Amino acid sequence: MTVYSNLAEWRAARSAADFPGRRVGFVPTMGALHAGHHALLERARAECDFVVLSIFVNPTQFNDAGDLAHYPRTLAADLALAGDLVDAVITPGEKELYPDGYNYRVTENALSRELEGVHRPGHFDGVLTVVLKLLNLVQPHRSYFGEKDWQQLQLIRGLAGTFFLPGEIIACPTVRDPDGLALSSRNRRLSADARVQATLFPWIMENSADAPAAAGALQAAGFAVDYVADRDGVRLGAVYLEGVRLIDNVRL
């Protein structure tokens, strides 16, 4: 594994003569890696010749400064988890990735205005902008994204198609703890009692008759509910527990 904190060095390596003919897989992350990220990396390793991991806590997708400040940064542990699954890690700084100060950005005007977009204004502008930058930097044949962020996945697929980006966007199933809670870097911020309570989130989402019933049951169980909605055979929800925001989705 080679770690590139300097984008000029990475771009020089990416343009080297040993890349043509090799299938490049890419897993973009904000760090604080867990078993869900590990599953993405395992699939990339199985399907590609060269695997790239990015670790960058993207400030432009946070509409809450407190959430950004508390987001875990665990680079040493992340590199240990990536281990032999990864050939290169890029860890750019904010000024390198946003030399324009975020004057140029990507905006989608339909799906990004719903669900997460209602409660996190500007969030998807930041996501789509940083993903476009990273895909241009890495030039992967396959990029791997988890299905837990269902809305984000649909928007990234649209981004790739709209801008004629080469390579495939590969969706990977949500990884859950044995008690059903979807893995998330934010889960570690929950107290022990709240972590137990959080298991009700996916259970209620899956076992309620419809979205309004799920929202009511979640509120009764002590969650602050941002939304629950049914779209395209998927029930999506976002809640707060102890001030920690959790999102999930289940197939109907």
Query: pLDDT of 78-87, one tens digit each?
Result: 999 999 999 9
Identify the active-site residue in 37, 70, 123, 141.
37
Same domain, 11 and 67: yes
Residue 234 lies in domain: 185-251
Residue with tokens 């993903």: 131
The CATH number covering residue 124 comes to: 3.40.50.620
Same domain, 198 and 137: no
Compute CA distances 210 → 3, 230, 233, 246, whole Å: 47, 8, 12, 20
25 — phi, psi (to 5°)? -105, 150
Structure tokens at 235: 């029930």
pLDDT tens for each residue of 142-185: 999 999 999 999 999 999 999 999 999 999 999 999 999 999 98
Predicted TM-score of the model (pTM) = 0.94
From the CB of residue 136, how many other CB atoms can be counted at a distance below 10 Å?
A: 11
**Residue 65 lies inside a defined structural domain of this protein:** yes
**Residue 37 is among the residues annotated as catalytic for this protein:** yes
Sign of CA dihedral 10, 145, 34, 195: positive
Among 121, 140, 172, the domain-final residue is 172
Quote the pLDDT of residue 31.
Answer: 94
**Residue 177 lies inside a defined structural domain of this protein:** no
Of 153, 54, 160, 48, nearest in space to 111 by CA: 153
Among 172, 204, 222, the domain-final residue is 172
Q: What percent of the chain has pLDDT over 70?
A: 100
Same domain, 152 and 223: no
